[in-house]
Amino acid sequence: MQILIGSLVLSVIHASIPNHWIPLVAIGKAENWSRNETLWITAITGSAHTISSILVGIIVGLVGYKLSSAHEFVTRVVAPLILVILGLVYLFVDLKSPHHHQNPMEICSISQKSKLSIIISLCIAMFFSPCIEIEAYYFTAGTFGWSGITIVSIVYLIVTILGMLLLVDLGLKGVERIKWHFLEHHEKGVTGVVLIVLGIITYFIKI
C-alpha cells in the first residue's frame, strides 16, 4: 500500500506537468489533427516516455533489491535517504533556477514536417527524457522486491498515459487557458516536496 500510494502521487504530478501535454495540444491544433488523431499520438508518445522510464527504473529497482537483500541498512536508511536528498536537490534547483521552462517535445519548423516525422520526433524526444524522480522511487520500491517494482511500473504506466490523454482532451476544449504557470515553473519544487515526504514516510512507516 505504501509503494502504491507513493507511485500514484508521483505519477499524477508527473502526468500533470504542462510540458507533457500542452505541446501536444498546440501541435495538434497547428497541424489540424482531429481529436482522435491527437489522442492517439498522445498515447504513442506518452508510451515511449513511460516505457523508457520503466526500463531504467527496473534496473534501479533491481539494484535496490540486491542491496536490500544483503544489507537491511539499505532498506531502513539508505532508500529513504536517497528520496530525501533528491527531494532537497530538486527544491534547491527550483529556488535557484530562473524558471525558464524547457520543453522536451520542442520541434522546430513543425509545419514543414509530415505527420509521421512529427510522431517519430516526439517519440524520440520523450523516450530519451525518462522521469528521474520515479527512477529514485524505483530504488525504494526495489527494497520491497519484485512486487514493489511491479506496482510502480503498472501505476506509472497507466496513470501517466491516462493523465496525459485526459489533459490533452481537456486542452483541445480550451482548458489549456487555465493558469498552469506555477506547476510549469515550479515542477521541481513540487516534486522535491513529494520526494521528501515519501522518504520520511518510508523511513518511519514500514507496511
pLDDT of amino acid 107? 45
Residue whose grid cell is 529514485: 136
C-alpha–C-alpha distance, residues 205 and 202, integer Å: 5
Give Cα separations from 185 to 96, 166, 167 (angstroms): 12, 21, 18
Residue 74: CA count within 13 A, CB half-sphere: 18
Length of the chain: 207
Enter the pTM of the model. 0.73
Specify the number of domains making up the chain: 1
Find out whether 201 and 6 touch, Cβ atoms under 8 Å.
Answer: yes
Distance of CA 177 to the CA centre of its chain: 22
Half-sphere exposure of residue 63, counting CA atoms within 13 Å on the CB side? 12
Terminal Cα distance for the chain, rounded? 7
Max avg pLDDT among 16-25, 133-142, 184-193:
133-142
Share of the chain above pLDDT 90, in %: 21
User: At 11, which helix (H) or strand (E)?
Assistant: helix 2-16
Dist CA 56 CA 133 (whole Å):
12
Average confidence score pLDDT of the chain: 78
Domain span holding position 92:
2-102+110-204
Q: What is the pLDDT of residues 27-36, one digit of tens each?
A: 888 888 899 9
| pLDDT at position 199 over 50 | yes
pLDDT digits (tens, 9 = 90+) for 122-147: 888 888 878 877 888 898 888 888 99
Task: Yes or no: say if 33 and 113 are a contact pair by the CB < 8 Å rule.
Answer: no
Q: What is the DSSP letter of 186?
A: S
pLDDT tens digits for range 78-122: 777 777 787 787 777 767 765 444 444 444 444 456 788 888 888
